[in-house]
Structure 1
């Protein structure tokens, strides 16, 4: 592997890569310094003039993932160095970076990871066919010989692949389809989070960076959206360099590679990863130096802006009027002929999947809140409510639970726009909408938490179920309003991202030569804050913004996608709600009350809570060293996928089974087979009143085929059949008769059982099979068909083993019984006497348990 890289990336090529990266960074730096001053001007002007957005109804929390981790578990990774599959423990923290450890023990001990994957720019794949298609698109050679062996031999049929156009690829595999589905959802969430764009907290550096990047690409003739604008600034700049450098190196190096197509593809991936890492290291260093230079200059620029703000604004408006008069006719003609006819069709294509995704978010939220209401009815304690709320708080960041919402957005189809409006792919809009869905879910959950917490503190004596129900209704109404506002804003921004680049591309040939002439109208002192290119783009944006706003308003009036007009709901309508805190409520500590307060310091340092349940449970062996040692499917405990209406709790306790009145015992035996059953009992029943895990659900002990028991153990125990008051009255009136009859019944039963034992012991070899064991031996072990505990896929475990199969008693064939007629003659009179006395006693005193109730015949 090292020979391939070193032989194809010699010192000369590495110097060429460094020089090309420096050239791109120098040109980008020029745009960045210009846009930094403009962004600072806009920030200071906004600060002075004021302004703000529409007040939201839902609350927002700043750090929802504090002391939380997303997911962790074991799977198998293919190592290109050794060309073997090894077991790995993956940990996904709140940063959404994937850390790889040799084992779970290595992670728990705090050892260094084997590597960390930043998923920016990656794609999560679940099939080798899809991966090979992307690979062939990046490097194909019709003249090359195709190898007969597959590109990568996966030990299971459930692969997971992280693909990147430039960086290293990662190969994983799991044992079952459920594991693959869960891991794929987690990987997609990691990609979605890291591709979310730059932080909006910086009001100067972030706008300066995005505008500089857009202007740089437009200068190269690239308009429209860009798929690789993902990750941090250094990663975006590395992608910018590789956009032109990668094809050039491929044409230079690939023809020199030897071997079949698949081997050449593998070698080229290694070379591409080495180039990408070199470029990324250089862009990170040079970008930090560029930002440092601008930050040093910022105080001087800020002082000049605040001193001459009025004059700068007046000068900009004067230049804007001149440019508008020059280009306005061409802009309006373009809007009327090539933009307005397509706005509604573009908007409809965006609205359909987006609205279905937000509707799915509301449905999931509603189901989870209803579950909490049900739990508050069944168990009205605040401790139980605290447990449920603690699990609900992370619903928005549960990739598996939210997957159905994200899938609705995957159906977005912009076919036709990609060629007409230079839209590279809809992935930019899909990921943005999915991030907004997650944000709205978290805001709704956080608002519900705050309302419940506020209600519990103010009304301690109020019914808990009513409190939860009232908070639920308020949150759903607020979600309806806020989701409508968020979607309308998303539609406007998406339309601008599609239309504005198209208009700039159409107007650039005729307007680009005229714009430099307007620079003479700008004073030299203000030239850093007023740029004609920015003014021209603002005019183009203003020309189409009115049509976009009208299209969105018309869609809101139609109410086809549950969109509301902003005037229908007053802003700041719930002032008391916005006075609540932004911090996350610690429901676990809150439910523990005073104990949690005393141990506050200890609880603050407790182990991070994982949002998604682990697939590989603690205690299961996971010490596999190669693909040859991959366990079978039955070796890994599975978890049920998230079910509709399932409770948020990861575990639920079994509810006590209600006592059912005992039916009347069976009558006396009337046939030979019934008497044989008395002689050769199949099961031993000991009514101890204690729960034994080895018993089946009906209280029986499972038997293997051919097994029997030697003895029947009967425990005499009186079980009242009626209420205690009635039982006490009847027992007082018949105590003397009951004592005499009870002694007679016991004596008859003991005599019958004694005769049975004597009859059986006369010839054990004739009555017992070879596999019989003593009742105190291994007979109490559970059957192999007993259903194991199942675990919920989404971190919520089912209430109990609902489908445990019952092992039926093994029948005794006629071949196994030796002339039982001799035994029947001896026993029949004793048995009839026992049953007759039993029936008479039950008729006089019904609450006394009969022999059939005590002994399982």
Structure 2
């Protein structure tokens, strides 16, 4: 940890390690239970046909890895050296930022002088916005704002990267177009890394999601959690840091810092590294144990799946449903009128409605120049991809404006996952566009080169129709998930006092052989979800009459 380790004496370091170990120990039983529940759910989904519609666009199979480069260029940087220096900046396909000394050192394979995860980061081109981010991250307990001096050379275009557990990094560009392009790359990386834990194996994603839900409910936290960011290890680290991280209000921790932000960042970084070291091996061992347990139960689950589902249905019908429904019209009473999900993606469909700004991308973009049949196999993406990329950035802007429109939801529902809603929507937009480009490329390449100039427009219109279809499906899913994310926590909190104490008695309805494969809390949670979706369907039907 370098110099930062001296900022945490042995007592404070042992305290942080102890809290991390205790957090993991308390979390382990929840994850073990949910790992088996996830395996049952996966096998159930495998056995039952999908009810929702399927996308028609062709999705690229290859996943971006560390070998793919999203960005590489020599850029003036102001990092922990506290001086402006030209660095060779690389952004890899796994959305990690690297700073190299020179292009030559990068080409030789020399390890980066600095490799940075962007989870939880915020990037801006405004010095005032950056100062506001600093004041929010390092509030003075006496309300005194620390003066900051501009470090940006006159006439340059800056990008400020503010990171939660690392020193901030500044970048400067000679041209505004270079600044905008790099900012777009950073924001893409932040979005993907914030949601990184959702990109793992589906069984582990389901297990972590439900384990976090029930673990936080034990602490009386029913609302969404804005620190559910990064990899599964980073999410658990955030659990610890939320309660144990050094904070400026705790004056007894490091009084000698006196608000000096650079040193304070080093303290927080040292604490975070301690937490990561303490949790890393334990989490990996837990995941491996759960993989083996799930694999050992695979045969039982497959052979007895019908009986397991029947036992679950018995539990639902005879016990938990009575508990939930005894609360009467709980959804309308606790949540009030719920917004309806527009059928088919809203008025005008996904491509023209106000709900999905990305749908008109191809219609609004310029028509690609004719492809000459005399050219030796021109890459279609060189013609089309730049148009998509420019249009995609324009589509992100209306989604960003949702922050202001969702302020009322924060007051009414304590909704704090606005950033996640925005990021997931933007990622869906990006994935749809990448699938459209991939489909276009394959269709063009399936035609003889001599016919490209005459068929490219027809292919573009065909892919647009597929894109409109998939956009409607994605939009409908986004709206339903957002509605659930907003209202379900309210229902959980208000029904908990009357329903939670009753759950234990319903375990008698579970067959002994399946006691590890069926959890009453999971059935209860699924019932609450059914209540929400039922109310939404009724509201949707009522609004259409």
Q: State the partner residue of 2:221.
A: 222
Quick one: structure 1 residues 416 and 171, their matched pair in 2 at CA, closer, same or farther if it must change by over 3 Å? Answer: same
Verify the 8 A CA contact 1:223 1:422 in the aligned structure 2: no
Matched, 1:532 2:520: yes
In structure 2, what is the Cα distance between the partners aligned to 1:401 and 1:363? 9
Q: State the partner residue of 1:298.
A: 294
Aligned residue for 1:121, secondary structure, equals: coil
- Post-superposition offset of 1:19: 0.8
In structure 1, what is the Cα distance between the partners aligned to 2:387 and 2:115? 26
From 492, 499, 502, the counterpart of 2:487: 499
Aligned residue for 2:407, secondary structure, equals: coil
- Post-superposition offset of 1:436: 0.7
From 450, 453, 463, the counterpart of 1:465: 453
Quick one: structure 1 residues 296 and 112, their matched pair in 2 at CA, closer, same or farther if it must change by over 3 Å? Answer: same
Q: State the partner residue of 2:398.
A: 408
Q: State the partner residue of 1:334.
A: 330
- Post-superposition offset of 1:365: 2.9
Verify the 8 A CA contact 1:99 1:116 in the aligned structure 2: yes
In structure 2, what is the Cα distance between the partners aligned to 1:103 and 1:390? 29
Matched, 1:318 2:348: no
Verify the 8 A CA contact 2:90 2:98 in the aligned structure 1: yes
From 279, 284, 287, the counterpart of 2:275: 279
The superposition leaves residues 492-539 of structure 1 with CA deviations (integer Å, 9 ceiling, x where unpaired) of 111111111111011111111111121233233211111111111111
Quick one: structure 1 residues 549 and 74, their matched pair in 2 at CA, closer, same or farther if it must change by over 3 Å? Answer: farther
Quick one: structure 1 residues 224 and 167, their matched pair in 2 at CA, closer, same or farther if it must change by over 3 Å? Answer: farther
Q: State the partner residue of 1:508.
A: 496
In structure 2, what is the Cα distance between the partners aligned to 1:287 and 1:70? 30
Q: State the partner residue of 2:361.
A: 364
Aligned residue for 1:455, secondary structure, equals: coil
In structure 2, what is the Cα distance between the partners aligned to 1:160 and 1:501? 37
From 372, 375, 388, the counterpart of 2:370: 375
Q: State the partner residue of 2:430.
A: 438
In structure 1, what is the Cα distance between the partners aligned to 2:131 and 2:146? 13
Quick one: structure 1 residues 486 and 393, their matched pair in 2 at CA, closer, same or farther if it must change by over 3 Å? Answer: same
Matched, 1:447 2:442: no
**Over aligned residue pairs, what C-alpha RMSD do you find?**
3.0
Instruction: Summarize the alignment of residues 839-854 of structure 1 with structure 2, pairs less than 5 Å apart.
Output: none
In structure 1, what is the Cα distance between the partners aligned to 2:226 and 2:375? 48
Q: State the partner residue of 1:153.
A: 151
In structure 1, what is the Cα distance between the partners aligned to 2:40 and 2:78? 52
Aligned residue for 1:221, secondary structure, equals: coil
Quick one: structure 1 residues 312 and 389, their matched pair in 2 at CA, closer, same or farther if it must change by over 3 Å? Answer: closer
Bigger relative CO (Cα 8 Å, ≥ 6 apart): 2
Quick one: structure 1 residues 402 and 247, their matched pair in 2 at CA, closer, same or farther if it must change by over 3 Å? Answer: same
- Post-superposition offset of 1:332: 4.3
Instruction: Summarize the alignment of residues 95-174 of structure 1 with structure 2, pairs less than 5 Å apart.
Output: 95-141=94-140, 143=142, 150-151=148-149, 153-156=151-154, 158-174=157-173
Instruction: Summarize the alignment of residues 468-479 of structure 1 with structure 2, pairs less than 5 Å apart.
Output: 468-479=456-467
Aligned residue for 2:448, secondary structure, equals: helix
The superposition leaves residues 777-817 of structure 1 with CA deviations (integer Å, 9 ceiling, x where unpaired) of xxxxxxxxxxxxxxxxxxxxxxxxxxxxxxxxxxxxxxxxx
Instruction: Name the structure where helix makes up a greater proportion of residues.
Output: 2
- Post-superposition offset of 1:145: 6.6
Verify the 8 A CA contact 1:492 1:549 in the aligned structure 2: no
Q: What 5-or-longer segments of structure 2 have no aligned partner?
A: none
> TM-score, normalized by length of structure 2?
0.90
- Post-superposition offset of 1:393: 5.1
Instruction: Summarize the alignment of residues 524-603 of structure 1 with structure 2, pairs less than 5 Å apart.
Output: 524-550=512-538
Quick one: structure 1 residues 249 and 520, their matched pair in 2 at CA, closer, same or farther if it must change by over 3 Å? Answer: farther
* More off after superposition, 156-165 vs 296-305: 156-165
Quick one: structure 1 residues 393 and 121, their matched pair in 2 at CA, closer, same or farther if it must change by over 3 Å? Answer: same
In structure 2, what is the Cα distance between the partners aligned to 1:542 and 1:147? 50
Q: State the partner residue of 2:236.
A: 237
Quick one: structure 1 residues 433 and 147, their matched pair in 2 at CA, closer, same or farther if it must change by over 3 Å? Answer: closer
Verify the 8 A CA contact 1:168 1:269 in the aligned structure 2: yes
- Post-superposition offset of 1:39: 0.9
The superposition leaves residues 590-648 of structure 1 with CA deviations (integer Å, 9 ceiling, x where unpaired) of xxxxxxxxxxxxxxxxxxxxxxxxxxxxxxxxxxxxxxxxxxxxxxxxxxxxxxxxxxx
Verify the 8 A CA contact 1:68 1:93 in the aligned structure 2: yes
Aligned residue for 2:58, secondary structure, equals: coil
* More off after superposition, 22-31 vs 448-457: 448-457
Verify the 8 A CA contact 2:69 2:92 in the aligned structure 1: yes
Aligned residue for 1:87, secondary structure, equals: strand
Verify the 8 A CA contact 1:75 1:172 in the aligned structure 2: yes
Q: State the partner residue of 1:523.
A: 511
In structure 2, what is the Cα distance between the partners aligned to 1:347 and 1:14? 53
Verify the 8 A CA contact 1:59 1:446 in the aligned structure 2: yes
Instruction: Summarize the alignment of residues 175-214 of structure 1 with structure 2, pairs less than 5 Å apart.
Output: 175-199=174-198, 202-214=201-213
- Post-superposition offset of 1:329: 3.2
Verify the 8 A CA contact 1:101 1:114 in the aligned structure 2: yes
From 305, 309, 312, the counterpart of 2:305: 309
| Alignment length (residue pairs) | 538
In structure 1, what is the Cα distance between the partners aligned to 2:157 and 2:275? 34
In structure 2, what is the Cα distance between the partners aligned to 1:258 and 1:231? 29
Matched, 1:74 2:64: no
Verify the 8 A CA contact 1:327 1:511 in the aligned structure 2: yes
Matched, 1:343 2:339: yes
In structure 1, what is the Cα distance between the partners aligned to 2:325 and 2:97? 53
Verify the 8 A CA contact 1:332 1:543 in the aligned structure 2: no
